[in-house]
């Protein structure tokens, strides 16, 4: 029996995924739960498992293609089951009947003969549209396959609404054309306006037109007194709806021609420069959408300060060898993570998120810290949970493991969820200050600058001296809807306290 398998929702409510790589080919035998494809969605790459034991019959998607959830991506032939004229569809675990089911009318065989079959019921048509768009098409009575014939990409809700509006307008236009034809038969024949005349512009003081024509002209931004016409009514120039539409179309075409001519001249004048393009898809597109939403939803304010971390540098040097004996790479980041967890406990107003739907501020009594990690494909944020309850070496080991998985693109979606606060270590690349964008729904993010030696005034036994000290810069961006500048300053001061004297972390 042949079974079609639809792309499942491999994330949390995602609408589509990019098929990165097929792990099987037609003719390969597969077992249930065997990975057959790698799909990139949201911020992770996941394996798509086979739902059955069988043989790969056909691959319906190509590598690099963005496939909507619910579309068939692979066909299996299952041995040991009765053959059937109908093809069984294996839906994703949480798929609904909206994306792939057919009504009784759609499944009815079409009669053979000279009459062409209805494309709306041809099962082989693959319409690139998610379930929500298909549902809207049914509600508006739109044949989605008709749009697919004229569209070069994925069908969206805007396409459906535009097609429905165009169909409604065309139907009204046909009715008006028929009525106008009847009126023309009752009145004296009038000479039509040629396309050449449409290129010209009239200049009259008065024009007769029905209200509908005036309404359409206003929508198109056309002055009726400028529309050429040879028709007259009651001795005055008369403009029909059809004439206005033809004039508007000719006017738009002339503008398009002018723009193209200007573009050609600009291209001719501008010397060719070497450049290349690559698709804006996958993780890069997801990051862009998330950053845009955060920046234009939460009013960002950044509080910046610096801290003397000479004692921290000494402490890390003393513990580094002991950590290596446990096969653990000890950096400054675990110290900062522990310091932030302790500071969040002292300043619980920072460890919050805003629930806009319920108009509530959610205070969290757990401390999960995300680490912004640069990868070849963009920024990923693995989360280390319950930092406050874990030892320094445990935090160091888990942080290293998850950041490595992020760079290797092997992080699971679960390992990037549940964060309450994020740290971005720009100092590892080189840089002191920044204005990081909040990782919503969190309310704050801390950027760490590079540790540099700087001259500082040091007081000992009542005497002040200038000495070279190790200094780290801090940049805390926060959501001003739920936090104020005083909150940010108090939290940053608490972080400084633990970084200046890391021995205090032993008391936590």
Catalytic residue numbers, as ranges: 480
CA-derived radius of gyration, the chain: 33
Contact 1, 87 (CB under 8 A): no
Closest to 290 in 3D by CA, of 153, 130, 416? 416
d(CA 202, CA 403): 70
- DSSP-derived letter for residue 248 is H
d(CA 417, CA 43): 11
d(CA 249, CA 243): 10
Give the distance, in angstroms, between the CA of residue 248 and the centroid of all CA atoms in the same chain: 37
Say how many C-beta atoms besides its own lie within 10 A of residue 60's C-beta. Answer: 17
Give me the sign of the Cα torsion angle 219, 224, 230, 235: positive
Contact 135, 98 (CB under 8 A): yes
Closest to 477 in 3D by CA, of 445, 439, 433, 448? 445
d(CA 175, CA 189): 20
Q: What region does 56 belong to: left with phi over 0, alpha with psi -120 to 50, or beta?
A: beta
Q: Strands 88-90, 2-6: parallel, antiparallel or unpaired by DSSP?
A: parallel
Give the distance, in angstroms, between the CA of residue 380 and the centroid of all CA atoms in the same chain: 15
SS3 383: strand
SS3 325: helix
């Amino acid at each position: 029996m042949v079974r079609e398998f639809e792309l499942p929702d491999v994330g949390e409510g995602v609408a589509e995924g990019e098929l990165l790589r097929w792990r099987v080919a037609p003719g390969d035998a597969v077992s249930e739960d065997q990975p057959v494809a790698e799909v990139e969605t949201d911020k992770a790459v996941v394996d798509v498992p086979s739902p059955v034991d069988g043989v790969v019959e056909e691959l319906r998607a190509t590598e690099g293609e963005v496939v909507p959830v619910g579309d068939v991506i692979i066909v299996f032939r299952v041995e040991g089951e009765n053959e059937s004229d109908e093809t069984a569809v294996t839906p994703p675990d949480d798929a609904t009947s909206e994306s792939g089911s057919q009504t009784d009318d759609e499944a009815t065989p079409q009669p053979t003969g000279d009459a062409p079959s209805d494309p709306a019921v041809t099962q082989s048509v693959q319409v690139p549209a998610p379930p929500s768009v298909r549902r809207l098409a049914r509600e508006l009575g739109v044949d989605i396959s008709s749009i697919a014939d004229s569209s070069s990409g994925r069908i969206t809700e805007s396409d459906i609404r535009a097609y429905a509006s165009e169909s409604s307008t065309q139907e009204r236009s046909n009715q008006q054309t028929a009525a106008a034809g009847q009126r023309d038969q009752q009145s004296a024949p009038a000479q039509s306006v040629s396309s050449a005349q449409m290129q010209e512009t009239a200049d009259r003081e008065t024009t007769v037109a029905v209200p509908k024509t005036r309404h359409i002209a206003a929508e198109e931004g056309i002055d009726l007194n400028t529309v050429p016409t040879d028709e007259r009514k009651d001795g005055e120039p008369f403009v029909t709806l059809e004439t206005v539409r033809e004039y508007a179309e000719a006017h738009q075409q002339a503008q398009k021609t002018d723009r193209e001519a200007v573009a050609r001249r600009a291209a001719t004048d501008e010397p060719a420069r070497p450049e290349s393009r690559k698709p804006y898809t996958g993780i890069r597109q997801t990051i862009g959408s998330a950053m845009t939403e955060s920046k234009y939803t939460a009013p960002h304010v950044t509080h910046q300060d610096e801290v003397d971390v000479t004692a921290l540098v000494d402490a890390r040097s003393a513990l580094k060898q002991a950590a290596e004996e446990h096969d653990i790479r000890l950096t400054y980041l675990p110290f900062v993570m522990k310091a932030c967890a302790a500071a969040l406990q002292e300043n619980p107003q920072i460890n919050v998120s805003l629930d806009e739907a319920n108009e509530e501020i959610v205070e969290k009594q757990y401390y999960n810290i995300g680490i912004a990690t640069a990868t070849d494909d963009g920024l990923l944020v693995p989360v280390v949970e319950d930092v406050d309850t874990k030892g320094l070496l445990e935090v160091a080991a888990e942080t290293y493991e998850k950041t490595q998985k992020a760079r290797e693109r092997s992080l699971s979606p679960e390992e990037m969820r549940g964060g309450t606060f994020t740290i971005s270590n720009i100092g590892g690349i080189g840089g002191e200050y920044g204005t990081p964008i909040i990782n919503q729904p969190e309310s704050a993010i801390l950027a760490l600058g590079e540790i540099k030696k700087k001259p500082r005034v040091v007081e000992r036994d009542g005497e002040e001296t200038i000495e070279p000290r190790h200094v780290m810069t801090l940049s805390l961006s926060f959501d001003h809807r739920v936090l104020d500048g005083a909150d940010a300053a108090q939290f940053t001061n608490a972080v400084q306290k633990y970084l200046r004297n890391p021995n205090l972390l032993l008391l936590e």
